[in-house]
Structure 1
Amino acid sequence: MAGSNTVRILDGNTFVVSEDTGDIEATPSEPTGLFSLDTRYLSKWVLTVNGERLNALSYDDLQYYEARFFLVPGMATHYVDAKLSIIRERVVGGSFRETLTILNHDEKPVDLEIRMDAGSDFADLFQVKDEILNKKGELYAEAEADRLRLGYRRGNFKRETVISANQPARYDNRGFAWSIHLEPNEQWDAAIDVRTFAIGPGGRDLRIGLRAHGTERLALEHDLQEWVDKAPKVNSEHGRVAATYRRSLVDLAALRFSPLSLGGQTLPAAGLPWFMTMFGRDSILTCLQVLPFAPEMSKTTLRILGALQGTRFDDFRDEDPGRILHEMRYGETAAFEEQPHSPYYGSVDATPLFVVLLDEYERWSGDVALVKELERECRAALKWIDDYADLVGNGYIWYERRNTENGLENQCWKDSWDSVSYADGSLPPFPRASCEVQGYAYDAKTRAARLAREFWGDPAYADQLEREAAQLKARFNREWWVEEGGFYALALDPQGRKCDVLSSNIGHLLWSGIVDDERAPRIAEHLVGPRLWSGWGVRTLAEGEIRYNPIGYHNGAIWPFDNSFIAWGLRRYGFAEEAATVANGILDAATYFDGRLPEAFGGYQRELTKFPVEYPTACSPQAWSTGAPLLLIRTMLGLEPHEGHLAVDPRLPVGMGRIEVLDIPGRWGRVDAFARGRLDLHNLAG
């Protein structure tokens, strides 16, 4: 994973990860480079002056799409003033532009040899992640009079990087150079364009039609400003909320991804650096989080996922009719079916969540046309739940990969290999059924019943769905409850044995509504109790369980997205104080990450660490972490659509101060919401 000395800029389909000097010198363990559509288009980009590497004085990642590096030759020193300043400015937006500025501070003229070493391994992102680079095609480099062309071909799969500059340069197969003369106090500038091409059969660039701002900063600035202006305004007496909201909004703009061949529409990509593509689960959950702030993302996401819904039985891709995809990739390994992500369907939660998002989007937007447009896809998703997901035949959603070589073992959101276990620490056999997915299925049927009755003109189907949902809820509460612990099992094995560990998944059960009312207080008590609650957030696995590890990916770390849905679930069942506690912890943690919540951070007790400890390989920015503060704001203010209007029922943490959210869009037009937290009387008395 790229370390803390790396600089990242991105814009949807394209991103750059470099050293703090701006140089790129990729190694198997570092995902540095210029990437687009799962391919690394630059693996070497090293600037030298008179043969010397440069030293970084400072850098600014000004916006998500641009960065500026301030450099000097040699090593920095307090005793000798540098006679040259080198500034590298770069912008990424559909392609990549870098501007070099060199200033001579000497009282004498200087002659300089400026060189940029450039190269590309055209590595597939999966190869970078797995640290295995096994290219089966042909790499080539062609130096022309006015450009350098780097390329890779394997059959009909072809990728190219074309580099040119506005100052005449000498190009060779390893880069390009200038010989320049600078008088005292003179400045020299050069603009370098790097264009990337994904060439398919017939020589057509597959990237045509994607959302592209070009590389001009003004266009990018305008796009970002338009995005921010369109969103509701959040003001807060406690500055952390407004600052975190602004950071989340900007990161969400950066993560807008345009799938190939779908007309430039955008949906949230999962996260940088490994997951800059569409994920069914991640995109849906992110859309649910940001609905009050960026509702248009839901419409695009639903349409795109509906268009790519499974239509056949395909063991290689774990595809079934009606199943919503898990992940889509565009690199070499997917193109040649060396891995199944073209697309891959190995997720059991994306399909019911697709139905949940469609209903929630209509409740906010009143977009009846989309509900009618996606009726067939919605019915197919519900049929998948009943006919294809019940691998054991007992009415639950189960999973077991059919692609045993490349498929995911665990196909719930906690998809690491050891995330599902019994209390003794052992792992259950397959197939497995995860508890929160049953909640999603209950919620999907309940919501689809409303859609069928109100918009599809099918009251009989609505009645059927409501009966099935009620039966599922009764059966689930009977068969998943761990009496001695007072919580729901994490999962069941095929013999019905419970994975009897206390986990954060029970919070998702509250959000879905499947929890019996009389059991909800026990669940709320656990979520903010000492085993799950760290003071910063709810741990994925409770302290004291055998597999608990405060930096275990799904076995003790804290996920901000997870906590945002837990808080939403607590509010659903009336536990406003507990929801405010969760929101306060996560928003406090955000201040230690400059407002950008990582994918996950350590589950250490707050009193022990005094600050949240970032998970070592967490994605950042990551879509559903970016969406977490937005859902927490919704939860704290109690924003819910109600009979065509927006209901506001605020419950802020103690000491939060005043929060206002202005111009909340929906079927009601645009409205404002205000709230004020209660005073912290204990601190006032102190």
Structure 2
Amino acid sequence: MNGQKISILDGNTFVVSDGRGDIEATPSEPTGLFSIDTRFLSRWVLTINGQRLDPLSFDDLQYYEARFFLVPGGTAPNIDAKLSVIRERTIGDSFEEQLTILNHDEEPVRLEVRMEAGADFADLFEIKDEILEKTGERYAVVEEGALRLGYHRETYRRETVISSSEPARYDEHGFSYSIQVQPQSRWETEIQVRTQAIGPSGQDLRIGLRAHGEDRKKGLEEDLRTWIANAPRMVCECEPLAETYERSLVDLAALRFSPLSLGREALPSAGLPWFMTMFGRDSIFTCLQTLPFTPQMSVTTLRILATLQGTRFDDFRDEDPGKILHEMRYGESASFEEQPHSPYYGTADATPLFVVLLDEYERWTGDVALVRELEYEARAALTWIDEHADLVGNGYIWYEPRNRKTGLANQCWKDSWDAISYSDGELPGFPRATCELQGYAYDAKVRAARLAREIWHDEAFADRLERQAAELKERFNRDWWVADGEFYALGLDPDGRRADVLSSNLGHLLWSGIVTPERAGRIAEHLLGPRLFCGWGVRTLATGEARYNPIGYHNGTVWPFDNSFIAWGLRRYGFAEEAARIAEGIISAAGFFKGRLPEAFAGYERWLTRYPVQYPTACSPQAWSTGTPLLLLRTMLGLEPHEGHLAVEPVLPVDMGRIELLDIPGRWGRVDAFARGRLGPDRR
């Protein structure tokens, strides 16, 4: 259990320890206490009488709290353990650990209790790149009743302040207690670890974020109860679906992130451990998935992304006027522009998706006030598509990193370096265009036309958008179709050569509506065919392609989020049975992960492995994987807003059983949906 990584988190802060609750970080491992992209504790090791402890068990109480049960090292816990130790920790706006030592003997015991504490203040990018070369100065100051660990570099300053409810002896490397525990008695203390991001004025930059009142734990408990109570209640006969639904709602609560200087409202951070911050694409996709369940998250996401929308041309940050950001970071490397993430705009899809989410949110909620409030930002996003995204001049969205040193090469959701290739495995030159970007642009224009006509009352603009969308659809279906394979190319290079590989991106094209009806059936066959569908889900890249690898990050793995939008796209074109097959595979896979779908898992055939093999460095929890079961549930139930009402047209996987989704919020108030899946041949 010592080697097991244990995580607890609360939006802006998270801690990763071993099975004893100890932290012994290395420069390249995301272990420690983290907040705003900085490691505030890199060492946190408990000893009693100089000995490390051995774990008995670990309880994952909630996403924000955990409890470790331990005994002194070298004892046989079932025979002669005279002491036991409980470490109960809670994380929120600070990190607290309740340390309890129980004496089970008939004699009093004297103990030396020691907590080694240290902080390297590593930037998350330094850990990820396995390069920890701090240029600032670290310090440790022993104060009355506290230990202050700190780091400063010019005006950048981060501190960790440690204190205890029981008197302790502090030194630069931790703190100690000399105690006596009476027979059949206990000793306990509460240790508080406060993290501080100190600005030039001397105040913590995070003052006011996610405040929970005097009793922080009770505040967290009440916040989670309210979050769950506001979501629809589900009753179903499928145990993996029930477990996954509950886990998803809790993980969404855990992943709520409040950006600095933008108030307490939260949007979904992307995922633990590398991406606990604000993202454009990830947050938008997650909001689209979760809109019928947590609509308020979409409001916050849209407003925050609008506030940070690009206003200028900046090659270092890949920023353009009207462009929606990709990623925002608050660590040392971003503060000193060693990374462009302050914020970074290197994504080509977040901008059209911003418009898509705005329309989908209004369709679901009827909140025309927000659409009016964000009219300027939506128009700016559409202008970016027309005037700044078309780098070649042929009417498509293209991308090319202007920051070649630290920017992303691929600026679509498959953003690893080798994700876009020709069928022979070679990589295209720049600029590049990928097929789903054109689908998003088409969808954004169609949706914006509705907003312009019905809410902004601009008929001329609506007409122009509809005309542009129709022209884009016709042009796309001519230029991107691979006739001999009967599918759409993954991408184009600037010379018009197709990246003619079979990929999961086809499903995003269905979701966007850019596929012509006569070709939709063939696309559905590909998505559920043996080259792409492995039984658990649709692979990112088909077997037989040169770069196919079942454990390649974007070249053969199965991404749950990807599959949720593929299923939604299939349902849009009337392929409800096919969508249900994907839902069954993903929900079955979730059962092997105790309801928490990882970022990605291997694309091995289901019959071969009999269980889904997790991608080795997958984030978990991850926002759009957490949102996947919710979108699949919407798709299976056929939930769609229609003329102010909620239409329900369920098609469930075979043997799914009965599903009741109660109190679904929307412009209709709250309504219920019911469905029952048909039985398979062996159960009739």
- Please tell me the TM-score bracket, short chain as reference: over 0.9
Alignment-derived partner of residue 563 in structure 2: 563
Retained in 2: the 8 A contact 1:209–1:261? no
Retained in 1: the 8 A contact 2:2–2:19? no
Pairs within 5 Å for 1:321-336: 321-336=321-336
Task: List per-residue Cα deviations over 1:216-257 (Å, max 9, x = no partner).
Answer: 322211110110001000110112212110000000000000
Report the 3-state secondary structure (helix = DSSP H, G, I; strand = E; otherwise coil) of the residue aligned with 1:179: strand
One-letter code aligned to 1:227: W
Q: Which moved more, 1:139-148 or 1:352-361?
A: 139-148
Cα displacement (A) at 1:29: 2.9
Report the 3-state secondary structure (helix = DSSP H, G, I; strand = E; otherwise coil) of the residue aligned with 2:627: helix
One-letter code aligned to 1:244: T
Cα displacement (A) at 1:77: 2.9
Q: How does the TM-score come out when normalised to structure 2?
A: 0.99
One-letter code aligned to 1:553: Y
Does residue 282 of structure 2 align to residue 276 of structure 1? no
Retained in 2: the 8 A contact 1:57–1:76? no
One-letter code aligned to 1:233: R
Alignment-derived partner of residue 225 in structure 1: 225
CA distance in 1, matches of 2:191, 2:60: 19
Alignment-derived partner of residue 604 in structure 1: 604
Cα displacement (A) at 1:28: 2.2
Cα displacement (A) at 1:144: 1.3
Alignment-derived partner of residue 185 in structure 2: 186
Taking a change above 3 Å as real, the CA distance of residues 4 and 530 of structure 1, as seen in their structure-2 partners, is farther
Alignment-derived partner of residue 493 in structure 2: 493
Alignment-derived partner of residue 423 in structure 1: 423
Cα displacement (A) at 1:183: 1.7
CA distance in 2, matches of 1:399, 1:71: 53
Retained in 1: the 8 A contact 2:28–2:131? no
CA distance in 2, matches of 1:269, 1:602: 24
Q: Which moved more, 1:336-345 or 1:179-188?
A: 179-188
Alignment-derived partner of residue 240 in structure 2: 240
CA distance in 2, matches of 1:209, 1:187: 36
CA distance in 1, matches of 2:336, 2:88: 37
Cα displacement (A) at 1:542: 0.2
One-letter code aligned to 1:335: S
Cα displacement (A) at 1:79: 6.6
Cα displacement (A) at 1:261: 0.5
One-letter code aligned to 2:639: L
Alignment-derived partner of residue 352 in structure 2: 352
Retained in 2: the 8 A contact 1:145–1:170? no
Q: Which moved more, 1:664-673 or 1:78-87?
A: 78-87
Cα displacement (A) at 1:263: 1.1
Alignment-derived partner of residue 304 in structure 1: 304
Alignment-derived partner of residue 168 in structure 1: 167
CA distance in 1, matches of 2:264, 2:238: 38
CA distance in 2, matches of 1:34, 1:522: 50
Pairs within 5 Å for 1:253-652: 253-652=253-652
Alignment-derived partner of residue 678 in structure 1: 678
One-letter code aligned to 1:87: I
CA distance in 2, matches of 1:526, 1:643: 34
CA distance in 1, matches of 2:167, 2:380: 59
One-letter code aligned to 2:47: T
CA distance in 1, matches of 2:51, 2:200: 43
CA distance in 2, matches of 1:616, 1:29: 15
Retained in 2: the 8 A contact 1:571–1:635? yes
Cα displacement (A) at 1:684: 2.2
Does residue 179 of structure 2 align to residue 212 of structure 1? no
Pairs within 5 Å for 1:57-96: 57-77=56-76, 80-96=79-95
CA distance in 2, matches of 1:138, 1:240: 50
CA distance in 1, matches of 2:37, 2:174: 23
Cα displacement (A) at 1:80: 3.7
Report the 3-state secondary structure (helix = DSSP H, G, I; strand = E; otherwise coil) of the residue aligned with 2:149: strand
CA distance in 2, matches of 1:536, 1:414: 20
Cα displacement (A) at 1:213: 2.8
Cα displacement (A) at 1:4: 6.9
CA distance in 1, matches of 2:551, 2:94: 37
One-letter code aligned to 2:48: V
CA distance in 2, matches of 1:212, 1:555: 42
Cα displacement (A) at 1:145: 2.1
CA distance in 2, matches of 1:77, 1:544: 54
Alignment-derived partner of residue 15 in structure 1: 14
Report the 3-state secondary structure (helix = DSSP H, G, I; strand = E; otherwise coil) of the residue aligned with 1:203: coil
Alignment-derived partner of residue 100 in structure 1: 99
Retained in 2: the 8 A contact 1:69–1:88? yes
Q: How does the TM-score come out when normalised to structure 1?
A: 0.99
Report the 3-state secondary structure (helix = DSSP H, G, I; strand = E; otherwise coil) of the residue aligned with 2:404: coil
Alignment-derived partner of residue 131 in structure 1: 130
One-letter code aligned to 1:42: L
Report the 3-state secondary structure (helix = DSSP H, G, I; strand = E; otherwise coil) of the residue aligned with 2:84: strand
Cα displacement (A) at 1:204: 1.9
CA distance in 2, matches of 1:636, 1:132: 46
Retained in 2: the 8 A contact 1:551–1:603? yes
Taking a change above 3 Å as real, the CA distance of residues 368 and 78 of structure 1, as seen in their structure-2 partners, is closer
Taking a change above 3 Å as real, the CA distance of residues 482 and 76 of structure 1, as seen in their structure-2 partners, is farther
Number of paired residues? 683
CA distance in 1, matches of 2:357, 2:617: 29
Retained in 1: the 8 A contact 2:71–2:77? no
Report the 3-state secondary structure (helix = DSSP H, G, I; strand = E; otherwise coil) of the residue aligned with 1:117: strand
Task: List per-residue Cα deviations over 1:569-621 (Å, max 9, x = no partner).
Answer: 00000000000000000000000000000000000000000000000000000
Alignment-derived partner of residue 53 in structure 2: 54
CA distance in 2, matches of 1:371, 1:201: 37
Alignment-derived partner of residue 654 in structure 1: 654
Task: List per-residue Cα deviations over 1:333-376 (Å, max 9, x = no partner).
Answer: 00000000000000000000000000000001111010000000
CA distance in 2, matches of 1:3, 1:307: 44
CA distance in 2, matches of 1:449, 1:324: 20
CA distance in 1, matches of 2:210, 2:48: 36
Retained in 1: the 8 A contact 2:2–2:55? no
Report the 3-state secondary structure (helix = DSSP H, G, I; strand = E; otherwise coil) of the residue aligned with 1:511: helix
CA distance in 2, matches of 1:619, 1:317: 25
CA distance in 2, matches of 1:140, 1:438: 52
CA distance in 2, matches of 1:3, 1:655: 40
Cα displacement (A) at 1:209: 2.1
Cα displacement (A) at 1:78: 6.3
CA distance in 2, matches of 1:72, 1:154: 41
CA distance in 1, matches of 2:74, 2:427: 53
Q: Which moved more, 1:266-275 or 1:208-217?
A: 208-217
Taking a change above 3 Å as real, the CA distance of residues 118 and 609 of structure 1, as seen in their structure-2 partners, is same
CA distance in 1, matches of 2:192, 2:160: 10
Q: Which runs of 5+ in 1 are unaligned?
A: none
Task: List per-residue Cα deviations over 1:510-560 (Å, max 9, x = no partner).
Answer: 000000000000000000000000000000000111100000000000000
Q: Which runs of 5+ in 2 are unaligned?
A: none
CA distance in 2, matches of 1:495, 1:125: 39
One-letter code aligned to 1:245: Y
Alignment-derived partner of residue 112 in structure 1: 111
Cα displacement (A) at 1:646: 0.4
CA distance in 1, matches of 2:460, 2:255: 41
Retained in 2: the 8 A contact 1:235–1:242? yes
CA distance in 2, matches of 1:668, 1:259: 32
Cα displacement (A) at 1:3: 10
Does residue 666 of structure 2 align to residue 669 of structure 1? no
